[in-house]
Structure 1
Amino acid sequence: MTPEQVTLVKDSWEKVKPISEQAADLFYGRLFTLDPSLRSLFKGDMSEQGKKLMSTISLAVASLDRLETILPTVQALGRKHAVEYEVPESSYATVGEALIWTLGQGLGDDFTDDVKEAWVLTYTTLSEAMLSGTQAAA
Structure 2
Amino acid sequence: MDDRHIALVQESFRKVAPISDVAADLFYGRLFEAAPHLRGLFPEDMSEQKRKLMMMLATAVNGLTKLETIAPAVAALAVRHNDYGVKPEHYEPVGASLIWTLEQGLGDGFTPDVREAWVETYTFLAGFMKDAAASAEKARAS
Fold match by TM threshold 0.5: yes
TM-score for both structures, normalised by structure 1: 0.95
Q: Name which of structure 1's ranges 120-129 and 40-49 shifts more when overlaid on structure 2.
A: 40-49
The question of 1:41 aligning with 2:44 is answered: no
Residue 51 of structure 2: aligned partner: 51
Which stretch has the larger CA shift, 107-116 or 66-75?
66-75
Report the counterpart of residue 89 of structure 2 in structure 1. Answer: 90
CA–CA separation in structure 1 for the residues paired with 2:44 and 2:72: 26
Aligned pairs for 1:119-134 within 5 A:
119-134=118-133
Counterpart amino acid of residue 128 in structure 2: A
Q: Please, what TM-score do these two structures have when normalized by structure 2? A: 0.93
Aligned to 2:117: 118
What is the deviation of 1:119? 0.4
Deviations 1:30-87 (A, max 9, x none): 000111010001125212111110000000011000112212321221111112x111
Letter in 2 for 1:114: D
Contact between 2:9 and 2:117, CA under 8 Å: does it hold in 1? yes
Percent identity of equivalent pairs: 53
Partner SS state of residue 133, structure 1: helix
CA contact (8 A) 1:100 1:120 kept: yes
Checking the alignment, whether the CA contact within 8 Å between 1:12 and 1:115 is kept in structure 2 is: yes
Counterparts of 1:1-138 in structure 2, within 5 Å, are: 1-83=1-83, 85-138=84-137
1:67-116 CA-to-partner distances (Å, cap 9, x unmatched) read: 12212321221111112x11121110110000000000000000000000
Structure 1 residue runs without a partner (length 5+): none
**Structure 2 segments unaligned to the other structure (5+ residues):** 138-142
SS of residue in 2 equivalent to 1:70: helix
Contact 1:79–1:136 (8 Å) recurs in 2: no
Q: Which amino acid in the other structure matches residue 58 of structure 2?
A: S
Runs (4 or more) in structure 1 with deviation over 3 Å come to none
